[in-house]
Structure 1
């Protein structure tokens, strides 16, 4: 039996019991129940089966052991299907480190009033000629892996703020439906985290158009957690108090350092080895490798993700149709 005593504060323990149905008396049995289901999916290589790792999935699914196992299986299935994303999956990878240093994501020092980690992404920092969007997704997934190691974060979760100030047509054209679907799958369906809210600020009309494309991929519960604030930061502050936000987001704190979190990862030399074969940094291998969806539907039956192209003109025309 694992010793779980004193791993987090009494307040967090109480929250885990009330909100996540976590029962210290049955926690070890719940973990074993999930582990026992591994044999039902011989097609998946479950690299980690230790108690602490499985516990993340139970917390993400409020200790429903069946749903926790489904998430556990999807986590590794996603990584098997999209192997190229997770090759050289480390902060020492220059491509990922570059995206991290540009603040994808930045992690604020303070949590919100619910104890949730606050991640900020400023799209103006993405210069498309330097690296493709897939490096941002990889950096985001690596960051979440690092942060979710903390048990307080497993229980409280995350909120994400995306600042779309100065987001250009040229950037929007690089976000194909296939890449958007890949992102949604990776965060919504295949990662053991609780996302309390995703807040868009200063978004132009074509971001809202892109969001319309994404809506069919989103679960109903996820849709309820996405807030489009536009230029009205007052509504953002009703969700995340300005006392803990930096000045860029209308907060009372000084401007945040976009590279601080990246340097923390570098100091830890953080990375994960999923047992992938020969490494590749060709982002085309990733975007062309969308062979099937784990759970979210395609926007229409005619979209073939094997034919995903990095074609700026085609992508922009698709965005314009949703105005």
Structure 2
């Protein structure tokens, strides 16, 4: 039985067309899709695993099934980003503890989670895979929250404190493209993306982000000059003090760390599926996209 509030349940009804009958019917349709799938050999099918996909795609079953299939493919073709073995998890949490990414303690007035990445990275210690693994972990933990499944996420990427060419060059262009694909296949409602203080030499980075996003998400992508403009897209009061809000950044880090630790065993079960990759026709499309992307890289 769901323990989310009546207000959020009403939002689910009005924004994503969810009611109990539609939810149960759609769960059965998705289970049927999985059971008859050509290359999904084994996969979790309990409500808690499937519901995020239904809610992220507003119960449009064509889009739900497409996202579900692509999400499994993405995980299997990006093992390094979803490796939460003890050593990798500890390394990922060391990066988290630096404050590289923070989830605000409180939701905004629309019930959305607010996530800020500040791009302050020790490049001698961490690499691009560490950054992407941390993002995948945080987003999947958020996708496990029922209220977040319904209300969504605001993602803020802050480049305002001296991002250098050396920092951007750490990210292979293909990996940046793949990261935008990851944003599309992770079962969350990404309500806004805000890029702050992006330097002029990072135009190619911005073009890569746009290339990987859907038309709708490109409309939700905002580029602003400084942090003071973030208030146009999210309640600034829920932000940390360094962004004009009311909360201590370390407090936000500690609070969400507890949530990660409480959910990591569940998140690891996201990997509990088996695919027959020899039958995965979707890989052909994936490699064709990468081929086009490599042409862009050469040009």
TM value normalised by structure 2: 0.85
Partner of 1:242: 236
In the alignment, which residue of structure 1 is the partner of 2:126?
A: 131
Q: Indicate the SS of the match to 2:191.
A: strand
Q: Secondary structure at the match of 1:110?
A: coil
Cα RMSD of the aligned pairs, angstroms, is 2.8
Give deviations 1:10-51, integer Å, cap 9, x for gaps.
111111011101122232111101111113423124531112
**Aligned residues of 1:217 and 1:296 also touching (Cα < 8 A):** no
Gaps of 5+ in 2: 275-282
1:227 aligns with 222
Mapping 1:47-86, distance limit 5 Å = 47-86=43-82
Q: Unpaired runs of 5+ in structure 1? A: 278-290, 305-314
Q: Distance in 2 between matches of 1:245 and 1:295?
A: 40
What is the aligned counterpart of 2:112 among 110, 116, 131? 116
Aligned length: 286
3-state SS of 1:300 partner: helix
2:277 matched residue in structure 1: none
Q: 1:297 aligns with which of 283, 289, 294?
A: 289
Show the 5 A alignment for 1:1-323.
3-4=1-2, 7-89=3-85, 93-124=89-120, 126-164=121-159, 165-188=161-184, 190-231=185-226, 233-249=227-243, 251-257=244-250, 259-261=253-255, 263-265=257-259, 267-268=261-262, 270-271=264-265, 272-273=268-269, 274-275=271-272, 294=286, 297-298=289-290, 300=292, 302-303=294-295
Greater helix proportion: 2
Q: Quickly say closer, same or farther: Cα 1:254–1:55, change in 2 above 3 A.
A: closer
CA shift, 1:234, in A, is: 4.1
CA distance in 2 between partners of 1:134 and 1:202 (Å): 23
Aligned to 1:310: none
**Cα 1:244–1:214 shift into 2, 3 Å:** closer
CA contact (8 A) 1:246 1:255 kept: yes
Q: Distance in 2 between matches of 1:102 and 1:268?
A: 20
DSSP 3-state at the match of 1:84? helix
Shift of 1:175: 1.6
Alpha carbons of structure 1 residues 78 and 302: separation in structure 2 relative to 1, 3 Å: closer
